[in-house]
Amino acid sequence: MTNSIWQQGELIELTIADLSDTGDGVGRFQERVVFVPDTVPGDRALVRLVNVKPKYAHGKLKELLQPSPYRIRPSCIVADKCGGCQWQHIDYDYQLIAKRDQVIQALQRIGGFTAPSVDPVLVAHSPLDYRNKSTYPLDISTTGQVQAGYYQKGSHQLVNLNQCPVQDSRLNPLLAEVKQDIQQQGWTIYDENRHQGQIRHLSLRIGRRTGEVLLTLVVKDQDLPRITKQAEIWLKRYPQLVGVSLNYNPQRTNAIFGAETRCIAGVPYLRETFAGLEFQVRPDTFFQVSTETAEALLNVIQSQLQLQGDEVLVDAYCGIGTLTLPLAKQVRQAIGIELQAQSVQQAIANAERNSIHNVTFKVGAAEKLLPNMGIIPSVVILDPPRKGCDRAVIESLLLSKPERIVYVSCKVATLARDLKLLCEHDLYTIERIQPADFFPQTSHVEAAVFLVLSHFGKDT
């Protein structure tokens, strides 16, 4: 292999030294970077170069010459094919190390922070059997059988599943059996290339503490023959199933859910207990997939803030009030901002259900509402989507100067970008950075960053 050259199709020997933020192993060959899926730091491997660029390339693992001490046998028999998980072949303790390094590297490379102090990753309640929601695309096999699963890595070829080790195991019987019912009903499966067919996805959601389950079919057209009768059969067959819904998505899009969801049988929500409160969670609204780890991170937030009861708190991306409502019980006034009107309706209902009366929810974009609130909050919670905060949100905070900001992020690259702006000119200081593992067996990492106004407390 000493005569190997830098060209597509070439076989090279490579030692994997790191993991990228997308989960691929990273090695170096002739001073160039090579990204290789399905590898682990410490692996020595024979790799075929693909997609070769002047300074980097992607490779495909051809042969494992010497396995890493951090490599383990996956829990799932299709882990090498299925795109649902990336890291089942990596020891869980090493996954935590890699996720902490991912946060550090993003803060250094993108945020410009020198030697950021990052806490050890908050360990998941369980590295398997943790997902409270799974949404599966459907397909038809070459023999005409209905399939449900996840796509193969880098493709739209479905890997058929009857169980999934990372989803709540109580959902597995439904996954295996509902496919058969769809088959027997003769419902057609959506073909994205032709934009034809009835059923696009099967979505299952469970309350981890209550055990209540929702079953939702994402359909292209509103007319699904015999669905009401079949829904009643499902409710009788599965005692834990409390509701069956149809979500309508008629668009040519990669988005899973459409704008309209209709309950066919049972109730349109499940009950869940979170932070000592009862929430109603619908099929199509955001709720963290790892209930227990999300609650553990909330405990960290509460402990770090040490709220005294006289604060005004704004939750700028509040969803159904998952963070807003537990924190509202510890402050004088809480305000939640959320773009989705349906989520705000649920947040209001959840507040009433828990007799929390010092909270107000507003529908709208954080970048539009936050600058015009007419108050200076004591604490602002930021929990934006993966794209991070709109620049107008950051600018509003730099003008209003709340005493403390808690930024909860599901994408460390946009987190680092936004923290750089908030900490510019030393206006805010980072008190603590706490990563959390909401998504074991994947490269995704959540992080909560606590910022304090630099002069806060110095003159008092």
User: Dihedral sign, CA of 346, 233, 217, 88?
Assistant: positive
- 189-197 long-range contacts (CB < 8 A, ≥24 apart) are 189/138, 189/139, 189/140, 189/146, 190/138, 190/220, 192/156, 192/252, 195/220, 195/252, 196/220
**In this structure, what token pair is assigned to residue 113?**
């922070």
The residue length of the chain stands at: 460
Contact 67, 89 (CB under 8 A): no
Return the closest-CA partner of residue 304 out of 460, 433, 455: 433
Contact 275, 294 (CB under 8 A): no
End-to-end CA distance of the chain: 68
DSSP codes of every residue in 129-156: S-BSEEEEEEEE-TTS-EEEEEEBTTSS
Specify whether 85 is catalytic.
Answer: no
User: Dihedral sign, CA of 37, 43, 48, 50?
Assistant: positive
CB atoms within 10 A of CB 306: 7
- Catalytic one among 82, 318, 410, 423? 410
Instruction: In whole angstroms, give the CA distance from residue 396 to residue 299.
Output: 28
Contact 278, 287 (CB under 8 A): no
Return the closest-CA partner of residue 216 out of 169, 167, 269: 269
Instruction: In whole angstroms, give the CA distance from residue 328 to residue 333.
Output: 7
Cβ partners under 8 Å of residue 58, min gap 6 = 24, 34, 35, 36, 49, 50, 51
Contact 103, 432 (CB under 8 A): no
Return the closest-CA partner of residue 80 out of 71, 72, 67, 89: 89
Instruction: In whole angstroms, give the CA distance from residue 414 to residue 394.
Output: 12
For residue 236, the surrounding DSSP H or E stretch is helix 227-237
Active site residues: 410
